[in-house]
Each structure stands twice: as C-alpha cells, then as structure tokens.
Amino acid sequence: MSILVTGGCGYIGSHTVVELLNLGKEVVIVDDLSNASAKVVDRIEEITGKRPSFYQQDVVDKDGLRSIFKKEQIEASIHFAAFKAVGESVQKPGAYYENNIMSILSLVEVMAEFDVKKIVFSSSATVYGSLNPSPYKEDMPVGVPTSPYGQTKVMCEQILRDIYISDNNWSISLLRYFNPIGAHESGLIGEDPSGIPNNLMPFIAQVAVGKREFLNIFGDDYETQDGTCVRDYIHVVDLAKGHVKALDKLNQAPDVYTYNLGSGQGTSVLELVHTFVAVTGVDIPYKMAPRRAGDLASFYANADKALADLNWKTEKSIEDMCRDTWNWQSKNPNGYENQ
C-alpha cells in the first residue's frame, strides 16, 4: 500500500516524501511541476536509495487521478498541491480560488470512489487571521485571512470538515503551520522559488549567494523587541516529520484532527539575519523599507496539542535552519536548474 503525496516535488512535499521513504513507506508523487522540478525525484532517490512513483499530473484532473488510483494501491493521501504565494493571490484571486478549491474537491471525490478516506491536509497559520492574539491555539475561531490564499485554506478546511460530517468514516488531519525554512542536511533538496521569492529566508539565501544585492526589511517600527516583524520559524525536516506523525494518527480513529506545527518561539527578521551571518560567515547587506500592507507585527504557535497527541515537537534550532539553508543554496545557487 502506498501514500499519495500531491505536490510531492515541492519544497515541503519533497522533504515529507524523504521521511516517508526512510520509514519504509511506499510513496506515489503526483505533481504537475507548475512550481517544481522533476529533478527532485532523482534527488529523493539519491538521499533515500528508493525511488518514489511519479506522475506528472494536475490534481484538478479527476480522470487523470482515477487512472493513478487504478494503477496504485493508495491507502492515504497527503495534499500539498496548491498555489501558495500570498502576494500573487491578491493579484490573481480567481486563479487561487479555482486551483486550490478545485484540487481538494477533485482529490477527495476520487479518494471516496476508491474507498480511501484518510487525508492529511497542508493548511496554514494564516487561517487565524489578524484578530486572534498570539500564541495561536487550535480552538481559536478561524479569523479573517489577509489574502485570498489564506481564504482558500479556510475554505478547504471547511470542505474537509463537511465531508467528515457527511461520512464519519473519514479520518482527516488539518495541519496549520507557520514559517518553514531550512533544507535537507544533504543539501540535495531545498526551497527553490520560481521568480521573486515570497518568504524571507530565500531572499536572505539569494543575497548570500550573490543573486541579489541586498535584502529589503519591510518595517522597523513594529511593537517588537527590535521593531521588525516576529515569526515562528520551523525547520522543514521537523515539519515533514510532523506530517508523518499526523498520518499515523489517522489510523487510530476516524475524526477531524487539527494541529499547529510550529516551534512556539518567535524570531524577528533582524534576529534571523544576524543568526544567518553568524552561522555562515556570509554578510547580508540589508535596507529598511516601508511596511507591507497586511503584515502582522508578530505571530507564533502554541504547539502543545501536537506534543500531547502526536508526540511531536520541533528539534532543530534557528542555527540549524540557517546552516542547512546555506548548505543547500551554496551547492545549488540556481536551484534545481544547476544541472
């Protein structure tokens, strides 16, 4: 029996596939490669010694999915496949609503046809919106997200809850995670954003490798310890292990489980920059820029529930995240297009 990983060639998906394979699981990747590289499959094999099955396929295409389910013995799915750039979602809301909503609807419909009713869903801390105070807890009301991307995560969570209400044989895990950074310690897989990065760490890494002249820091007048935004950073390998734990939980009893995956610690933009410089010895020139609309001063997780229910917590430090990011970026200055 295999685990289906949609978006398995992407940043978080590829690291999760590695963890699954290392535990002896069979894995089937479905990815349309719209924001990923097929070279990831070779890198995964190089790390684990095992090659996952791979289908270049859009999850929205139900007939294409059905053909995969007919060929492979799928027992559960982990769904990463979605558009994820917050800024782009503001510019192209229709594309985000269409892709992110239709992909989950397509997947669960085909899963139900084949009586596969276990799914781990890649959600986001953005569902808490701007009204809840940090640290965020799972029992807080879902807020008003500041972007169409965040709104699609709220809607997908609701779709999955409604599916469970209609058929309580489903076992569903909603994973709300915070700011994944870092890379696999091998330096073979990591974050490879197309175009302009949407997150802080890829910008830092691109400055470090010489692709960008300096880093813009948006706002230095927030009510935080140094005036810059505070976020909850989590190593992508810790995050991947959280998905594996959540998958195991689905075997206990049908239900809808909701977990924050974060460190529970806030780190400011300047703290992250200074740590990167200290760990790597590479200077990161930066300039202060005006605040960006929609940025919150501070948000971080309360991850107690994941510890209690899943026996999961973060293990890697900010220093580990910076070191592994630089290991990846320095070996792959142009991402997967090096070769």
Instruction: Look at residues 276, 96, 135, 303 and name the one whose alpha carbon lies nearest to residue 204.
Output: 276
135's tokens: 């640290």
Residues near 262 by Cβ (< 8 Å), separated by ≥ 6?
Answer: 125, 177, 178, 232, 234, 300, 301, 303, 314
- 267-268 and 230-231: which strand pairing? antiparallel
The token duo for 36 is: 């990923």
Of 136, 149, 257, 336, the active-site residue reads: 149
Q: How many CA atoms lie within 13 A of 294 on its CB side?
A: 13
Identity (one letter) of the amino acid at 259?
Y
Active site residue 233: no
Asked whether the beta carbons of 2 and 27 are under 8 A apart, the reply is yes
CB 40 within 8 A of CB 64: no
Smallest CA-to-CA distance from 272 within 238, 315, 313, 319 is with 319
The residues assigned a catalytic role are: 149
